Structure 1
Amino acid sequence: LVTSMGVAVRREDAAAELNARTEDRLLAIKDRLSALGSLPSVTLLRTGENGVVYNQVDALLDALGFPGERATSEEFTRTLTAEQLDQVTSDVIIVGAFQDQQDVRAQLAMNPLWERLPAVRSGNVHYVDDSLWGSGYSPRATELRLDDIERIFS
């Protein structure tokens, strides 16, 4: 996408530089994560109406090598009803929250299955800005998401 935009605005060199910088940062983060040994499994969730949760694809988590129960790029999202929440067995859960994180936390806590999830029991649930994680595909959003990943896994 960055390369295409660079071509469109005749800034191919700047686009190539941005891509290289992002790739370098990804590799540096990957190197730091490899020091942890095996990576924890990670699921990215977004909340919806009536207790529905969306398990979303995330190319950045995939690129960093995190295993986990995420939707594939072909699916983009997997819908989990309130009764299916116990299917989330990842070590770490990242929850996208558009607005007040307290509202999202309260909504998830209303489901009795939430407290049973391994990541919840071990305190490995992290709330992030859903405008970046759910729909942020800009270079700046990628940088901010990498900041979140470094914060979560440092």
Structure 2
Amino acid sequence: MKKLWILVAFVAFTLFLAACGSDNNEETTGNDGSEDTSEEQNNESSEDSSNDSEENSSYVVEHAMGETEIEGQPEDIVILTNHGTEALLSLGITPVGAVQSWTGDPWYDHIEDDMEGVNVVGLENDISLESIAELDPDLIIGNKMRQEDQYEQLSAIAPTVFEETLRGDWKVNFELIAEAVGMPEKGQEVLDEYNNRVDQLASDLEENGKLDTKVSIVRFMAGDVRIYHKDSFSGIILEEIGLERPEAQDKDDFAAKNVTKERIDEMDGDVIFYFTYETGDGEASTVEEEWINDPLWNNLSAVEAGNVHEVSDTIWNTAGGVRAANLMLDDLEQYLLNSDS
């Protein structure tokens, strides 16, 4: 009997050890008996971490006021320049807030349809910090020449990126805006499309013997008449195409301002494009009528030949963005290729 009890005890102990081994094995396998899932759990954790990293990724943009770190993909963007509004629209972005167009109620005609629901935050030279703050933006894009004094206050509202300057070369500011919103590749696509149009127009003009056309640009304003040179929005586009300028306008600066009729001969060329900045009070239109009805104007060779065209001030000068640039190409194609100019 004693041996029998010893045998029973030994068997019981063996079964106990086997049970313990089974419990330990279950701790390292799935409840369904599958193999160790710790590696899968680690992979899932790694994937989750990767996704979080993408959502929380940041990038640094160098700009006129220094460097700005931007977290994630900005969605609610406030833009403080008119050309900047066009840049965002061309990238497929509708801003949450934008400065009012220089003319229009409140937007230029050529962007009005795409600006429904966008909040006005003042003018380029008179922004409303309160209106901007109320929108709680993810990103603010402005311009040093326009809003330098408000930069610190804007930066306290949201990450803020500033362009250095205005004037002719709109592409420089466009590239900065595309970088600021995290879409440099899309921005390059937009520029490539524009550049291809420029190249095609240049080729068509050359084929038709019109690439050497000397193009004059004149602007009428209330109290000011200007002749635009090469470092202007329209001047740079003409130079990109390869069109020539009259000798008096073949200068690398912005414009001749406050031009008097004693200098009216500087307005002549093979073709004259003129535009008028009218704000609604009729004063600029009065200046325009005075000049184009003057005998001195009508004695210009381009006028005598019928090669004078009134074009949009918004498109040729004021808007200063990528959409306006493309619309200016439309005008040049129409008047230089599809007319007798």
TM-score range, shorter chain: 0.7 to 0.9
Deviations for 1:38-91, whole angstroms, at most 9, x for unmatched residues?
5210111001346x5311131001111111133634x30113212210233311
Work out whether 1:78 is the aligned partner of 2:78. no
What does residue 218 of structure 2 align with?
Answer: 45
Question: Is the aligned partner of 1:61 residue 2:244?
Answer: no
Choose 1 or 2 for highest CA Rg. 2
**Cα deviation, residue 135, structure 1:** 2.2
What code does the residue aligned with 2:175 have? Answer: T
Following superposition, the deviation at residue 24 of structure 1 comes to 0.5
Aligned to 2:292, which of 106, 109, 117? Answer: 109
In the alignment, the residues of structure 2 paired with residue 98 and residue 105 of structure 1 have an alpha-carbon distance, to the nearest angstrom, of: 10
Report the 3-state secondary structure (helix = DSSP H, G, I; strand = E; otherwise coil) of the residue aligned with 1:90.
Answer: coil
Note if contact 2:221-2:276 (Cα within 8 Å) is conserved in structure 1.
no
Q: Distance in 1 between matches of 2:285 and 2:318?
A: 21
- Structure 2, unaligned runs of 5 or more: 1-172, 230-234
Q: Is the 8 A contact 2:215 2:269 kept in 1?
A: yes
| SS of equivalent to 2:203 | helix
Percent of pairs identical after alignment? Answer: 26
1:102, CA displacement in angstroms? 7.0
Query: Is the 1:46–1:53 contact (alpha carbons within 8 Å) kept by the matching residues of 2?
Result: yes
Using the size of structure 2 for normalisation, the TM-score is 0.42
User: 2:194: which partner in 1?
Assistant: 22
Give the CA RMSD over aligned residues.
2.1
Shift of 1:136: 2.5
Choose which of 259, 263, 276 in structure 2 pairs with 1:97. 276
1:42/1:91 contact within 8 Å kept: yes
Which amino acid is the alignment partner of residue 72 of structure 1?
Answer: K
Taking structure 1 as the reference length, the TM-score comes to 0.87
Any idea what the Cα deviations from partners look like across 1:79-121, whole Å, max 9, x if unmatched? 3212210233311000012348975652223422101101100
Does residue 311 of structure 2 align to residue 138 of structure 1? no
Q: Which residue identity is paired with 2:216?
A: T
Alpha-carbon distance in structure 2 between the residues aligned to 1:40 and 1:133:
18
- Structure 1: distance between partners of 2:286 and 2:205: 31
Code of the aligned partner of 1:117: L
Q: Which runs of 5+ in 1 are unaligned?
A: none
- The one-letter code sitting in structure 2 at the alignment partner of 1:43 is S
Do 1:56 and 1:78's aligned partners in 2 also have CA atoms closer than 8 Å? yes
Question: How has the CA–CA distance of structure 1 residues 143 and 153 changed in structure 2, closer, same or farther, with 3 Å as cutoff?
Answer: same
Partner of residue 129, structure 1: 312
Q: Which has the higher contact order (CA 8 A, sep 6+)?
A: 1
